[in-house]
Amino acid sequence: MPFADILGHDRIIEVLRRSMRGGKTAHSYLFEGVPGCGRKKTALALIQALFCAVLPDDACGVCPSCRKVEGGNHPDIHLLAPLPDKRDISVDQLREMQRELSLRPYEAPRKACIIDPAERLNVSSANSLLKTLEEPPGNALIILLTENAGMLLSTVRSRCQLIRFAPLSPEHVQSLLERSGMAPETAALVAPMSGGSLQKALELDNESLALRREAVLSRVGQMNINRIATVFDAAEELSGNRDATLELLDMLLSFFRDAVHLGAGSGEIINSSVRPAIESIASKQSLPRNMELLERIYETRRAVQRNANPKLSLDHLFMNMADGAR
């Protein structure tokens, strides 16, 4: 895919393209980031751009080489991963890859190899990779993908150019999900819970997520400062562990963002399938008050992320929310 189709990693792509234009791409890269954030896509886009017969620093997408990379059947690209049922990438697999790289490329200017995930190289395979990383045969390009560079031997790390990929923003995850054909409503529901990983977003069970959303909306609707028990019950029921609380806060953020949109006169909301509940939040309180609550929810999320007690943080937040609903 052309670089323009990769979302959220503009700075990294600019660095890679600049090095291509200067003829200074590294022999070996180490792409670090959460699985599903776009490391492999970027690796393939880089290889496609290097192989492209038309453009100097991007993939044209239409030349025979670009089409083969796109179709996953370019003979000069090698993917190295653990065999099914095996934990590690074995020395035998590694030797086979080294033998392949030492052959002349079939069509491309050079061969390329992606090792994914590199933390599955065991000590002997990592050690036998060192020489290849230093002087890849035939100028081959080697790209290692890892979740955490700290898990690799320092001798492997030091021989690669490290590039750190940030998790994707919820907006980018949402737009990638929609491009892949997911309904906008579902995409908006799962994107904030994905941790910046498209893969995780696709694995989330959106039906049970939708049920949890209903439960949260109904609890929020019942909270009343004059019946203080309703506030603490809601915090008790919804807090759970840290991850569950963060998920809840992400939901609240999307509800109140929608309520602020409605209050400001925009009809466009993310949670359109529960519109009546959102309209009730928007009409119960003034726009400035809902904007203030949105800010409070952000603050609470930051605090819980920094290890604040989930239940106490929610007690505090819910008291504040219920106070406005008097």
Query: Binding residues for Zn ion, per CB under 5 A?
Result: 52, 54, 60, 63, 66
| Nearest residue (CB) to Zn ion, 108 versus 270 | 108
| Nearest residue (CB) to Zn ion, 72 versus 84 | 72
| Nearest residue (CB) to Zn ion, 76 versus 119 | 76
Rounded distance between C-alpha atoms, residue 66 and residue 214, angstroms: 46
Q: How many CB atoms lie within 10 A of CB 207?
A: 9
| Nearest residue (CB) to Zn ion, 54 versus 264 | 54
Minimum CB separation of residue 1 from Zn ion in Å reads 11
Burial 72-81 (b: 16+ CB within 10 A, else e): eebebbbebe
| Nearest residue (CB) to Zn ion, 54 versus 83 | 54
Minimum CB separation of residue 42 from Zn ion in Å reads 17
Residue by residue, DSSP assigns 158-193 as TTSEEEEPPPPPHHHHHHHHHHTT--HHHHHHHGGG
Alpha carbon distances (Å) from 260 to 117, 224, 263: 43, 21, 5
Q: Which runs of consecutive H residues, i.e. helices, occur in the chain?
A: 10-21, 39-51, 64-71, 91-102, 123-134, 154-157, 170-179, 184-190, 198-203, 206-222, 228-239, 242-263, 275-284, 287-305, 310-324
Minimum CB separation of residue 59 from Zn ion in Å reads 5
Minimum CB separation of residue 54 from Zn ion in Å reads 5
| Nearest residue (CB) to Zn ion, 57 versus 185 | 57
- Whether the CB-CB separation of 44 and 68 falls below 8 Å is answered with no
Q: By CB neighbour count within 10 A (0-12 exposed, 13-18 middle, 19+ buried), where does 222 fall? A: middle
Minimum CB separation of residue 28 from Zn ion in Å reads 24
Minimum CB separation of residue 308 from Zn ion in Å reads 51
